[in-house]
Amino acid sequence: MKQIKAIILLLLGSTATIQAQELDANLQIRPRFEYRNGYKTLLPEGQKGTSQISQRSRLNFNYKQEDLIVKLTLQNTRTWGDVATTATADKNGVAIFEAWAQYNFTEKWSAKMGRQVLSYDNQRILGEQDWGQQAQSHDALTVSFHTETQKLDFGGAYNSTAENVLQTPYNVANYKALQYAWYHNQFSESFGASFLVLNTGYEYAPNPNPDNKLLVDYKQTFGPYLAYKTSKIDTNFWLYGQTGKSTDLQVSAWNAAANFNYSITEAFKAGLGYEFLSGKRTNDASTVIKSFNPIFGTNHGFNGYMDYFYVGNHLNNVGLQDAFIKLNYNINKWQFALMPHIFLAAADVVTPVNEKLDSYLGTEIDATFAYNFKKDITVTGGYSQMFGSKTLEFIKNGDADHTNNWAWLMISVNPRIFSWKK
């Protein structure tokens, strides 16, 4: 390690004769054990749950020189045992999670280009998805205008499979093009409001397609996010609409939520919330897409930790109503939380024989804890159980009478390994 530091300092010293420079490097090692017994969906009858350990390993470099900021994050995600102990290559290899450069033109204006995280407000629409070991980042260009009370970001992305010389279908499970704008105004120390406009374009080939055309349909997601926070009260509200087209189908959907949290004591906080995500009746013959899609949101943080809804599932379905209570208790290095959810369908659930089912989908109870073991080590874990209904069985299949539960334990080690300033 001393030799590596000496080489880095030598290289920096040869170029840092005039401008001030800063460099730091840090590691993250994050293994997570999970017991999945009805995780994401009801366990099918006659099947058994499973367990595994996944791990994220990251190396972050942060560099600053006058008005230039550069970040490079390398990561490997793996499941313990996914390659043999004598393997000559890793299954997933090393990927670039972030690789961007930012230039500050003035104190207020800046631009960032490269692989970067797009994360805004409570991450319902645009978020890092940090729970997933791979997380989420975009190849994009972002321009920012920031003052003490106002922030404006707008950016875009355009994706291709390679450096092609002919028209080539974009067959990656991703958008072809993206544009967005986000504005935030901090009206007071307690109250702030944001407005997001997101335009996502997905490529498709029409059917029939005698001319081998490739088309791009654009879907718009837009709306405000309001937050009010004092020493005792922490509350927020959002309302998002979706319109436009997707693979030549009209989109008309919406999402609204409200959350209220109150600090009863310095250690104990209680809150309640409700979220509505529009859906489509199971017997609706219309071609209009009426089910809201959170798109790039950190969906694990919403609608229960067992990820039954909107974590790679439940899209173009009957939508969701989520009513919940959240209790938090912090003492010394410990943090505890208990959150029961009641789930209901947002649209009618009708069987093929025209029987209308009850809208109640089930109740999920999430219990979590966190312990700050020492400066760079945190231990977190939890237990969740889903008490599903017959309506949930109809939507998800599986066995609601089976014990559907999930438990996890994660250790996150985040040491800074190098820091230099000149």
Contact 92, 76 (CB under 8 A): yes
CATH number for the domain spanning 280: value is 2.40.160.100
Model pLDDT, residue 212? 86
Q: Is 180 left (phi over 0), alpha (psi -120 to 50) or beta?
A: beta
CB 112 within 8 Å of CB 99: no
Q: Which of 200, 192, 27, 51 is nearest to 122 (CA)?
A: 192
Q: Find out whether 215 and 176 touch, Cβ atoms under 8 Å.
A: no
**Closest-CA residue to 282 (of 319, 309, 328):** 319
Question: What is the SS3 assignment for 393?
Answer: helix
Take residue 196 and report the two structure tokens written for it: 């997001």
Closest CA to 269 of 192, 335, 225, 324: 335
**Sole residue written with tokens 């995780």:** 39
HEC states along 253-320?
EEEEEEEEEEECCCCEEEEEEEEEECCCCCCCCCCCECCCCCCECCHHHCCCCCCCCCCCCCCCCCCE
Confirm if 182 and 196 have CB atoms less than 8 A apart. yes
Count of structural domains within the chain: 1
Residue with tokens 């109809």: 394
Q: How far apart are CA 360 and CA 184, in angstroms?
A: 37
Q: What's the distance, Cα to Cα, between the start and end of the chain in Å?
A: 20
- Tokens for 206, please give them: 């029409």
DSSP one-letter string for 225-255:
EEEEE-SSEEEEEEEEEEEEEETTEEB-EEE
| Rounded distance between C-alpha atoms, residue 8 and residue 2, angstroms | 10
From first to last of its 422 residues, the chain has per-residue pLDDT tens of: 555 455 455 545 544 455 789 999 999 999 999 999 999 999 998 899 999 999 999 999 999 999 999 999 999 999 999 999 999 899 999 999 999 999 999 999 999 999 999 999 999 999 999 999 999 999 999 999 999 999 999 999 999 999 999 999 999 999 999 999 999 999 999 999 999 999 999 999 998 888 889 999 999 999 999 999 999 999 999 999 999 999 999 999 999 999 999 999 999 999 999 999 999 999 999 999 999 999 999 999 999 999 999 999 999 999 999 999 999 999 999 999 999 999 999 999 999 999 999 999 999 999 999 999 999 999 999 999 999 999 999 999 999 999 999 999 999 999 999 999 98
DSSP string, 78-108: EETTSS-TT-SS-SS--EEEEEEEEEESSSS
Q: How far apart are CA 173 and CA 327, in angstroms?
A: 38
Q: Is 355 helix (H, G, I), strand (E, B) or coil?
A: coil
Structural domain range at position 318 = 2-421
State the residue for tokens 């093929």.
352
User: Sign of torsion, CA 379 381 302 40?
Assistant: positive
Q: How far lies 391's CA from each of 2, 62, 132, 145, 349, in Å?
A: 62, 50, 28, 48, 8
Tokens of 297: 């949101």
Integer CA distances (angstroms), 214 to 157, 208, 217, in order: 18, 12, 10
Q: What is the CA radius of gyration of the chain?
A: 24
